[in-house]
Amino acid sequence: MAKWTPTSMIADIRGKLRGDVYSFQRGVHYIKAHNANPDQPNSAKQQTHRGRVSALSGAWHSLPQTNKDMWWKAASLRGGGNTGLSEFLRANIFIYACGIPDLPRIDHPPLSVGTPPHPENFQVTATDAAHNTLSWTAPSSADTFVQAWRQFDWNYFSGYNQQWVILASDTSDALQIIDTHNVPSGARIWYKLRSFDAQARRTPFTHVIKITVPD
């Protein structure tokens, strides 16, 4: 757990944001990692995430007031007590974590409502015992992206608290993502997809496909 000091621009943050929990106790603001699995220590990934939050919180200071007002408006439309800062963080942490290099920081919310096209005809094929190919037929453009998520079947990994994790992201015109794995034959892997764009607008996930690793 670490202390953080609010400023005139960022007066208060509370609640859970991805891997961190923001709280206020006895007059002091705290930030700590949310650990759903106590067996996992403070990881490099968690430290990287907190570094991103800190950098983005600093970037919030430099935004024009017009942009901040737009983020606050977006937060009010979402409801649930969200703030302009939390909306700014939510969008940009997603972009940083999506797996697509060189996507720029989002300094204002999308100017139009909507989501990119949903992945169509999602399929998974076991190419061999170490590779699965995830494919779709649409969308297919360089400015829309597809993100693949993976989860291991708990029946084959007793006691292993594996959550859904991002496998990879690519431009949607790639029309496939290949998963190279070391899962033993006979085990199952679960996959799902979603589309997103450079403004962090994303679709719901597709259906889940479970595939058994061949011999």
- Same domain flag for 93 and 162: no
- Residue-by-residue DSSP string for 27-50: TEEEEEE--SSTTS-S-HHHHHHH
Structural domain contains residue 27: yes
Under the banding of pLDDT at 50, 70 and 90, the label for residue 121 is: very high
Supply the CATH number for residue 130's domain: 2.60.40.10
- The answer on 191 and 137 residing in a single domain is yes
Decide if pLDDT at 15 tops 70. Answer: no
The residue out of 79, 97, 115 marking a domain boundary is 97
Kindly state whether residue 208 falls inside one of the protein's structural domains.
yes
Domain residues for the domain of 198 are 123-212
The rounded distance, in Å, linking the Cα atoms of 90 and 106 is 10
Q: Are residues 128 and 55 in the same domain?
A: no
8 lies in some domain: yes
Domain boundary among 80, 97, 114: 97
Instruction: Indicate whether 200 belongs to any domain.
Output: yes
Residue with tokens 């919310």: 109
User: Is residue 130 domain-shared with residue 70, that is, in the same domain?
Assistant: no
Do 90 and 6 belong together in one domain?
yes
Q: Is residue 140 part of a domain?
A: yes
Overall domain count for the chain: 2
Per-residue pLDDT at 10: 52
Residue 113 lies in a domain: no
pLDDT value at residue 50: 81
Whether residues 70 and 28 share a domain: the answer is yes
Instruction: Quote the pLDDT of residue 13.
Output: 56
| pLDDT, tens only, 129-143 | 999 999 999 999 999
One domain, residues 132 and 56:
no
pLDDT value for 16: 56
Residue 112 lies in a domain: no
Give the chain's end-to-end CA distance (angstroms, integer): 46
**What is the residue whose two structure tokens read 């597809």?**
146
| 90 and 132 within one domain | no
Is residue 129 included in any domain, yes or no?
yes
Which pTM value belongs to this model? 0.75
Statement to judge: residues 60 and 140 lie in one domain: no
Asked if residue 132 and residue 66 are part of one domain, the reply reads no
Q: What pLDDT is recorded for position 68?
A: 96
By the 8 A CB rule, do 42 and 11 touch? no
Per-residue model confidence as pLDDT tens digits over 79-120: 778 899 999 999 999 999 898 988 999 999 998 888 999 999
Same domain, 56 and 15: yes
pLDDT category of residue 9 using cuts at 50, 70 and 90: very low
What is the full DSSP assignment across 76-140?
A: HHH-TT--HHHHHHHHHHHHHHSS-TTPPP--S--SS---PPPPBS-EEEEEETTEEEEE-SB--
Quick one: 129 and 50 in the same domain? no
